[in-house]
Homo-oligomer: A and B are copies of this chain.
Protein backbone atom coordinates (compact mmCIF):
# COMPACT_ATOMS: atom_id res chain seq x y z
CA UNK A 1 0.00 0.00 0.00
CA UNK A 2 1.37 3.46 -0.83
CA UNK A 3 2.61 5.46 2.12
CA UNK A 4 1.13 8.91 2.72
CA UNK A 5 3.79 11.60 3.15
CA UNK A 6 3.12 15.09 4.44
CA UNK A 7 5.70 17.68 3.46
CA UNK A 8 5.53 21.15 5.02
CA UNK A 9 7.74 24.18 5.50
CA UNK A 10 7.24 25.60 8.98
CA UNK A 11 8.59 28.38 11.19
CA UNK A 12 10.36 27.68 14.48
CA UNK A 13 7.14 28.62 16.27
CA UNK A 14 5.04 26.16 14.32
CA UNK A 15 3.40 28.27 11.60
CA UNK A 16 3.09 27.17 7.97
CA UNK A 17 2.01 30.66 6.84
CA UNK A 18 2.11 34.15 8.33
CA UNK A 19 -0.91 36.20 9.39
CA UNK A 20 -3.37 37.87 6.99
CA UNK A 21 -3.26 35.17 4.31
CA UNK A 22 -5.28 36.20 1.25
CA UNK A 23 -5.23 36.31 -2.53
CA UNK A 24 -2.65 39.11 -2.47
CA UNK A 25 -0.64 37.53 0.33
CA UNK A 26 -0.80 33.76 -0.26
CA UNK A 27 1.89 32.95 2.33
CA UNK A 28 0.85 35.60 4.87
CA UNK A 29 3.08 38.24 6.44
CA UNK A 30 6.67 37.01 6.45
CA UNK A 31 5.64 33.61 5.11
CA UNK A 32 7.98 33.71 2.09
CA UNK A 33 10.87 33.16 4.50
CA UNK A 34 9.56 29.63 5.14
CA UNK A 35 10.29 28.73 1.52
CA UNK A 36 13.57 30.60 1.06
CA UNK A 37 15.48 27.32 1.50
CA UNK A 38 14.06 26.16 -1.82
CA UNK A 39 13.92 29.41 -3.74
CA UNK A 40 16.27 32.10 -2.37
CA UNK A 41 19.62 32.52 -4.05
CA UNK A 42 19.13 29.38 -6.14
CA UNK A 43 19.44 29.00 -9.87
CA UNK A 44 16.49 27.68 -11.86
CA UNK A 45 18.45 24.44 -12.38
CA UNK A 46 18.95 24.00 -8.63
CA UNK A 47 15.27 24.64 -7.92
CA UNK A 48 14.33 22.04 -10.50
CA UNK A 49 16.75 19.53 -8.97
CA UNK A 50 15.22 20.10 -5.49
CA UNK A 51 11.74 19.69 -6.91
CA UNK A 52 12.76 16.44 -8.63
CA UNK A 53 14.16 15.14 -5.34
CA UNK A 54 10.99 16.18 -3.53
CA UNK A 55 8.73 14.31 -5.94
CA UNK A 56 10.96 11.26 -6.52
CA UNK A 57 8.91 8.17 -5.73
CA UNK A 58 5.67 10.13 -5.48
CA UNK A 59 2.78 8.57 -7.39
CA UNK A 60 0.05 11.09 -6.57
CA UNK A 61 -0.54 14.29 -4.65
CA UNK A 62 -3.36 15.71 -2.48
CA UNK A 63 -3.86 19.47 -2.11
CA UNK A 64 -6.56 21.73 -0.74
CA UNK A 65 -8.73 23.88 -2.96
CA UNK A 66 -7.21 27.19 -1.88
CA UNK A 67 -3.71 25.95 -2.59
CA UNK A 68 -4.87 24.75 -6.02
CA UNK A 69 -6.56 28.10 -6.72
CA UNK A 70 -3.34 29.89 -5.89
CA UNK A 71 -1.02 27.36 -7.45
CA UNK A 72 -2.42 26.03 -10.72
CA UNK A 73 -1.44 29.05 -12.78
CA UNK A 74 1.87 29.44 -10.94
CA UNK A 75 2.83 25.77 -11.37
CA UNK A 76 2.83 26.27 -15.15
CA UNK A 77 2.45 24.13 -18.26
CA UNK A 78 4.67 21.28 -17.09
CA UNK A 79 4.35 21.18 -13.28
CA UNK A 80 6.94 19.49 -11.06
CA UNK A 81 4.40 16.92 -9.80
CA UNK A 82 4.51 14.60 -12.86
CA UNK A 83 1.60 12.79 -11.21
CA UNK A 84 -2.14 13.19 -10.68
CA UNK A 85 -2.97 15.90 -8.15
CA UNK A 86 -6.25 15.40 -6.24
CA UNK A 87 -7.79 18.71 -5.23
CA UNK A 88 -10.13 18.46 -2.23
CA UNK A 89 -12.96 20.90 -2.87
CA UNK A 90 -16.65 21.58 -2.31
CA UNK A 91 -17.01 22.79 -5.91
CA UNK A 92 -16.82 20.06 -8.58
CA UNK A 93 -14.80 21.00 -11.67
CA UNK A 94 -13.46 19.41 -14.84
CA UNK A 95 -10.08 17.70 -14.64
CA UNK A 96 -7.24 19.87 -15.96
CA UNK A 97 -4.48 18.03 -17.82
CA UNK A 98 -0.94 19.40 -18.03
CA UNK A 99 2.20 18.16 -19.76
CA UNK A 100 4.54 15.63 -18.18
CA UNK A 101 1.96 13.50 -16.38
CA UNK A 102 0.37 16.13 -14.14
CA UNK A 103 -3.41 16.39 -13.99
CA UNK A 104 -5.60 18.27 -11.51
CA UNK A 105 -8.54 16.09 -10.46
CA UNK A 106 -11.22 17.85 -8.38
CA UNK A 107 -12.78 15.64 -5.69
CA UNK A 108 -15.90 16.94 -3.98
CA UNK A 109 -16.83 13.75 -2.07
CA UNK A 110 -14.67 14.57 0.93
CA UNK A 111 -11.20 13.90 2.26
CA UNK A 112 -11.62 10.17 2.68
CA UNK A 113 -12.60 9.59 -0.94
CA UNK A 114 -9.84 11.92 -2.13
CA UNK A 115 -7.31 9.94 -0.08
CA UNK A 116 -8.62 6.62 -1.40
CA UNK A 117 -8.39 7.86 -5.00
CA UNK A 118 -4.88 9.21 -4.43
CA UNK A 119 -3.74 5.89 -2.94
CA UNK A 120 -5.20 4.02 -5.88
CA UNK A 121 -3.58 6.37 -8.40
CA UNK A 122 -0.19 6.23 -6.68
CA UNK A 123 0.32 2.63 -7.83
CA UNK A 124 3.96 1.80 -6.95
CA UNK A 125 4.66 5.31 -5.66
CA UNK A 126 3.72 7.15 -2.48
CA UNK A 127 1.04 9.79 -1.88
CA UNK A 128 2.26 13.28 -1.03
CA UNK A 129 0.11 15.82 0.79
CA UNK A 130 1.07 19.14 -0.70
CA UNK A 131 -0.87 21.41 1.68
CA UNK A 132 -2.18 23.84 2.70
CA UNK A 133 -2.20 23.59 6.44
CA UNK A 134 -5.95 22.88 6.76
CA UNK A 135 -5.78 19.72 4.66
CA UNK A 136 -2.52 18.76 6.33
CA UNK A 137 -4.04 19.08 9.80
CA UNK A 138 -7.18 17.18 8.84
CA UNK A 139 -5.23 14.31 7.30
CA UNK A 140 -2.85 14.13 10.26
CA UNK A 141 -5.82 14.03 12.62
CA UNK A 142 -7.52 11.20 10.73
CA UNK A 143 -4.41 9.06 11.10
CA UNK A 144 -3.69 8.42 7.40
CA UNK A 145 -0.25 10.10 7.39
CA UNK A 146 2.73 7.73 7.63
CA UNK A 147 5.59 10.21 7.37
CA UNK A 148 5.99 13.93 8.06
CA UNK A 149 8.83 15.81 6.35
CA UNK A 150 9.23 19.16 8.07
CA UNK A 151 11.43 21.93 6.77
CA UNK A 152 11.96 24.25 9.71
CA UNK A 153 13.04 27.70 8.59
CA UNK A 154 15.17 29.58 11.16
CA UNK A 155 12.55 32.27 11.64
CA UNK A 156 9.65 32.87 14.00
CA UNK A 157 6.45 34.47 12.73
CA UNK A 158 4.67 35.17 16.02
CA UNK A 159 1.26 34.69 14.39
CA UNK A 160 -0.16 32.81 11.44
CA UNK A 161 -1.52 29.42 10.45
CA UNK A 162 -0.38 26.74 12.92
CA UNK A 163 0.33 23.22 11.69
CA UNK A 164 -0.54 21.61 15.00
CA UNK A 165 -3.63 21.91 17.15
CA UNK A 166 -5.05 20.14 20.19
CA UNK A 167 -6.95 17.59 18.14
CA UNK A 168 -3.71 16.58 16.50
CA UNK A 169 -1.87 16.08 19.75
CA UNK A 170 -4.33 13.47 20.84
CA UNK A 171 -4.39 11.70 17.49
CA UNK A 172 -0.77 11.07 16.52
CA UNK A 173 2.67 10.23 17.80
CA UNK A 174 5.72 11.63 16.01
CA UNK A 175 9.11 9.96 16.05
CA UNK A 176 12.00 11.81 14.40
CA UNK A 177 14.15 9.44 12.35
CA UNK A 178 16.38 11.79 10.36
CA UNK A 179 17.65 15.37 10.56
CA UNK A 180 19.91 17.42 8.30
CA UNK A 181 20.43 21.13 8.03
CA UNK A 182 21.45 23.86 5.64
CA UNK A 183 21.54 27.60 6.37
CA UNK A 184 17.90 28.34 5.47
CA UNK A 185 16.16 25.22 6.81
CA UNK A 186 16.54 22.17 9.01
CA UNK A 187 14.92 19.09 7.49
CA UNK A 188 13.42 16.60 9.92
CA UNK A 189 11.68 13.37 8.93
CA UNK A 190 9.16 11.93 11.39
CA UNK A 191 7.44 8.56 11.43
CA UNK A 192 3.79 9.18 12.23
CA UNK A 193 1.67 6.63 14.06
CA UNK A 194 -1.65 6.71 15.90
CA UNK A 195 -1.25 7.83 19.51
CA UNK A 196 -1.13 4.92 21.96
Contacts and interface: CB of A to CB of B under 8 A. Distances in A.
Interface stretch (A62-70, A106-114, A122-130, A157-165): A157-165
A178 B155 CA distance: 16
Contacts of A182: 176
A176 to B, nearest CB: 4
Interface string A162-173: 111110110001
A143 interface: no
A166 B158 contact: yes
Of the candidates A158, A174, A186, the one having the most CB atoms from chain B within 10 angstroms of its own CB is A186
A12 interface: yes
Contacts of A155: 169, 174
A154 B180 contact: no
A13 to B, nearest CB: 3
A155 B14 CA distance: 11
A179 interface: yes
A1 interface: no
B13 A154 contact: no
Contact of A158 (B154, B165, B180, B183): B165
Nearest to A158: B166
24 contacts: A12-B14, A12-B174, A13-B13, A14-B14, A14-B156, A152-B188, A154-B173, A154-B176, A154-B190, A155-B169, A155-B174, A156-B164, A158-B164, A158-B165, A158-B169, A175-B183, A176-B181, A176-B183, A178-B181, A179-B179, A179-B180, A179-B186, A179-B188, A186-B188
Interface of A: 11-14, 30, 150, 152, 154-158, 162-166, 168-169, 173-183, 185-188, 190
